[in-house]
Structure 1
Amino acid sequence: MTLWIWVLVAALACFAQKLVGYLLPSDALESPRFAYVSSGVTVGLLSALVVTQTFASGSSLEVDARLASVLVAAIALWLRAPFIVVVLLGAVTAALLRLFGLAA
């Protein structure tokens, strides 16, 4: 298959998913069980994204400055720092570790 066929298949899959969302009855979407499951899926997907972006480098796993920056950001979140402070602390941590050659 060519790249354009994959793009069209992905577009059709997205359209079908959107269409199914419109066709579901509102009772199904407003149930407490649906809200509970959808909130859990959101947390799971976000966690998977963070882990993948923290440890993956190409097709291998690496421990580098990204891990330290995520840990610093997690501690800042735990201490209830504002979001911009969390982002800046993570970025500065990674930059300093790379500057001093302590991490790749």
Structure 2
Amino acid sequence: MNVWIAIAVTIVGCYAVKLAGLLVPAEALERPAVRQLAALLPVALLAALTAQQTFSTGHELVLDARAAGLAAAGIALLLRAPFLVVVGVAVAVTAGLRALTG
């Protein structure tokens, strides 16, 4: 029964957050600080997700082939490679290191 209570609370919470977003006055959304925050927030969330997925396995911090793939992707970005090339480089480096060490 506790699981269903948690699901119900989550449903209500999600609906409340959605409703709160719809009730924000348009004038508040036009402020420069709010616009800047809205532009930067997705980048920060993506960076946090990438870091969490790269350097952890559940409850432990790790430094493995994924970190090397991320570093290779960063270098490809610095060299202004197209997005698909960046992803391909990251995949190739990660897979290559896993094949060598695994």
TM-score normalized by structure 1? 0.88
Amino acid at match of 1:22: L
Distance 1:7 1:86 in 2: 39
Match of 1:80, SS state, is coil
Counterpart code for 1:39 = A
Give 1:43 deviation, angstroms. Answer: 2.4
1:56 counterpart letter in structure 2: S
Q: Secondary structure at the match of 2:63?
A: coil
Higher helix share: 2
Tell me which residue corresponds to 1:38: 38
1:85 and 1:3 map into 2 onto residues whose CA distance is 44
Task: Give the Cα separation in 1 of the matches to 2:65 and 2:3.
Answer: 34
**TM-score of the two chains, using structure 2 as the length reference:** 0.90
Deviation (angstroms), 1:81 = 1.0
Structure 1 residue 70: Cα displacement:
0.3
CA distance in 1, matches of 2:13, 2:95: 40
Q: Identify unmatched segments of 5+ residues in structure 2.
A: none
Paired residues, number: 102
State the identity %. Answer: 43
C-alpha deviation, 1:10, in angstroms: 1.8
In the TM superposition, what is the alpha-carbon distance from 1:50 to its structure 2 partner?
1.1
Question: How big is the shift at 1:15?
Answer: 1.1
Q: Deviations over 1:51-93 (max 9, x none)?
A: 1111011100000000000000111112111111111110110
Greater mean alpha carbon deviation, residues 78-87 or residues 32-41: 32-41
